[in-house]
Each structure stands twice: as structure tokens, then as C-alpha cells.
Amino acid sequence: MTHCSEADWQDQAQRHRERVSRFSDPYLERRSRGARHPVEDFLFTYYNQKPGRLLRWHPGAGVLLDGPAARERAGWKYYVAEGDGVRVDARRFAEERREAIDFARLILARTAARPAQFGCFGLHEWAMAYRSAVNGIRHEYLQLRLGAAGTDDVVEAARIRCTHVDAFRFYTPEAVPLNELTPTRETQRDLEQPGCLHANMDLYKWAYKLTPLLPSGIVMDCFELSWRIRTMDMRASPYDLAEWGYEPIEIETAQGKAEYVRLQRGFADESQTLRARLLEHLDRALTDT
């Protein structure tokens, strides 16, 4: 058990709040006036970790927070008092969240073990907007960069092979049979691979679902990677984001495809490093149970 002085952990908590606030404050300000942002709102609206929870700093398992101020945390879920300090109750977390732990470990380990695939070119977003003249588009306040017919032409000329169930489930009905695979929740453990932008964004999901067992530092590392991936994902989408200051990655061209793969490879490498760190932290935390 590592001891953390009150001055030290309060400093870490403050720096964590500042780190989160860079992202959460603009979102909360927009929400207060009913405004939306197609890129920057995503991690707060698609995922179910709200800003208030993210702002709370956690040391992770195996750390005893010293000092009177730590006693407040004895009332927090999955915390327990010990001597003059407070720590995460890793044993209780492991007992009550075993299914979530086991599934996260399975997905992380199996995804890490697979070779990355780099031939999707972000066409999942295009498949979500296919036949928009009939279905409408998911982001109804945005315009399609190539228009409805142009978007349909790109989808129909492409080989679509999305491996991620939570992208595939938003396909329009006409796009579903165009995908080479039919990802389901049951096959998720067998299909996810480290080239997939959505699988890599989901590192944030696995990290926050294991809070407070995992330290907030790695949760935010996953968040910030997901934030950058979301930016790339939407730049490669069929939507016109010029008004928002985003230059498109024109995946309908050879140059755009090459740019997409270059960025995708970089995110795949980063995600593999984070997967290894998540598994290492998780294994270390569970030794305390």
C-alpha cells in the first residue's frame, strides 16, 4: 500500500480537475444555451460518464490517501477508511463488478492480440448517412459535403468492412447488407481489432467503467486519445464541417485514403500502448483483493 500525503493528493486532484475542465467547461457552457458541437460533444453524450463524475480524481487501487480531507471519501462508493486514511476498496469492487472486469479484460486482451486492419477508410460514418433522401441523416443539423447522391455514390463504390458493433448498429437499413461482416454484441470479442477507430475510442469507456479501481490519470489518457480520434473520424465523415473549422479528409480520393490510413496507424499504435497499460493497471489492482 502506497501512502499519499494530503498535500500531494490534493494537488493531483486539482491538476486533474484542470485537465478535465479544458474539455468539460465548453461542453457545459454550450449545453446551458442549447448549442451543439458535432465533434466536441461526443465523449459527453455518446458515453455515459458525465462531466461531474469525470472531474472527480481517483488514485486507483493500492493508494492510501492521508489527512483529514480524505475522510470525506469514506462515504464515496468503493472507498473505505483504513487507519487515518482512506483507500479504494478493491476487494468490494472486484466482488460486485466481476462481470464488468472480466468482459473488459477479455475485450482488451483479445483486441490487443489481433493484427490491425487498415482498409475501412472510415466508411462507417458514410453508411450511417446512406440513402439520406429516404432515411434522413443522423446529425440532422449538418450538411453532407457531397450531397445525398454523392454520398450514396461513395458508399456504393466502396468495399465496406466495419468490424465494430457500435458503429454498425447505426447503419441505415439499406447499408446493412453492404457491410462484409455482421458485427453483434456476441461476436464483439472475436471481431474488435486495434485499427478500428471506434474500438480505440472505447478504451475510454473501459477505463471509466473500472473507476475508481483505475487511477484517473490513465482514464484521462484514454479520454484525450478518444478526443483526437473523434476529430479524425468526423473529418473523414461525409459531413461538411468547414463552419466548425475542420478540414475534411476526402476518403473518396486516393490522397484522402492515404491520409486516413496514416493517421489510423498512429492511433492504432497509441491504442495498443494504452491497452497494455490498462491491463497492467487492472492486474496490479486486482492483486490487492
Say yes or no to pLDDT of 157 above 70: yes
CA-to-CA distance for 146 and 144, rounded, in angstroms?
A: 6
**Average pLDDT of span 195-218:** 97
**Average pLDDT of span 37-55:** 95
DSSP, collapsed to helix, strand or coil, labels residue 65 as strand
Say yes or no to pLDDT of 20 above 80: yes
Q: Are strands 85-88 and 79-82 parallel, antiparallel or unpaired?
A: antiparallel
CA-to-CA distance for 193 and 180, rounded, in angstroms?
A: 15
Q: What is the DSSP letter of 179?
A: B
Q: Express each pLDDT in 119-130 by its tens digit.
A: 999 999 999 999
Say yes or no to pLDDT of 289 above 80: no
Write down the pLDDT at residue 40. Answer: 96
Write down the pLDDT at residue 288. Answer: 63
Q: Express each pLDDT in 177-194 by its tens digit.
A: 999 999 999 999 999 999
**Paired residues of 86 in beta bridges:** 65, 81
Domain residue spans of the chain: 2-286
**Residues listed for the chain:** 289
HEC-encoded secondary structure of the chain:
CEEECHHHHHHHHHHHHHHHHHHHHHHHHHHHCCCCCCCCCHHHHCCCCCHHHHHCCCCCCCEEECCHHHHHHHHCCCEEEECCEEEECHHHHHHHCHHHHHHHHHHHHHHHHCCCCCCCCCHHHHHHCCCHHHHCCCCCCCCECCHHHHHHHHHHHCCECCCCHHHHCCCCCCCHHHECCCCCCCCHHHHCCCCCHHHHHCHHHHHHHCCCCCCHHHHHHHHHHHHHHHHHHHHCCCECCHHHCCCCCCCCCHHHHHHHHHHHHHHHHHHHHHHHHHHHHHHHHHCCC
DSSP, collapsed to helix, strand or coil, labels residue 115 as coil
Write down the pLDDT at residue 248. Answer: 98
**Average pLDDT of span 34-60:** 95
The answer to whether residues 147 and 125 touch, using CB atoms and an 8 Å cutoff, is no
Task: Match 490513465 to its residue by C-alpha cell.
Answer: 218
Q: Express each pLDDT in 219-253 by its tens digit.
A: 999 999 999 999 999 999 999 999 999 999 999 99
Average pLDDT in the chain = 95
The answer to whether residues 220 and 81 touch, using CB atoms and an 8 Å cutoff, is no
The answer to whether residues 238 and 125 touch, using CB atoms and an 8 Å cutoff, is yes
**Average pLDDT of span 119-144:** 93
Cell matching residue 190: 472475436
DSSP, collapsed to helix, strand or coil, labels residue 87 as strand
Q: What is the DSSP letter of 172?
A: -
Q: Express each pLDDT in 248-275 by its tens digit.
A: 999 999 999 999 999 999 999 999 999 9
- Per-residue confidence band for 284, with pLDDT thresholds at 50, 70 and 90: confident
pTM above 0.85, yes or no: yes
Tell which phi-psi region holds residue 2, choosing left (phi > 0), alpha (psi between -120 and 50) or beta.
Answer: beta
